[in-house]
Amino acid sequence: MEIGKLLSSSRDHLVKRLKDVAYRHAWIQSHINNGIAFQIRAMRKAAGWDQKKLAEEALGNSDLQSMISRYENPDYGKYSMQTLLNLAKAFDVGLIVRFAPFSELVEWEERLLDTELVVPSFTQELKKGLPPSQVRPD
C-alpha cells in the first residue's frame, strides 16, 4: 500500500473514532499528556540535565525533582500553567496553549511522525537564522 493511501486510511479511521464523544475527549487528554511528558523528558535529556538540574532551572529548587518526575509521567496530567511557563523559560522556548478545531488536531496527529520532540531554544534559532516573517505588510 502506498504511503498516501495508508495516511488517508489512517485519517479516515481516526475521524470515524472521533465521532464518539468519549473517545474524542480521551484522545485529546492522551495527546496532551503524552506530548508534554515526552517533550519535557526529551528536551531535558538534550540539555544534558538530570531531573534535579531541571527542577533547579525551572522551579528554582533542586529538591522539587519529584515534581519534574511527575511532569515527565504521561499518566500524571495535572499540569499547572505556571509550571509549564517556568519549564518553557528554563528551556528558552515558547509555549502554545490554545483551543483548536478537531480538524487541526487531526492534521497535527498526521504530522507527529515527522515532528521532533526537542525544540530549539531561541538562542539556537538565532544562530541558525530565524525564518522570515510570514506576515505581509498591508
pLDDT 10s digits, 94-135: 999 999 998 888 887 777 655 678 888 988 888 888 765 554
Asked if 108 and 28 count as a contact pair (C-beta separation under 8 A), the reply is no
Confidence at residue 113, expressed as pLDDT on a 0 to 100 scale: 59
Asked if 121 and 94 count as a contact pair (C-beta separation under 8 A), the reply is no
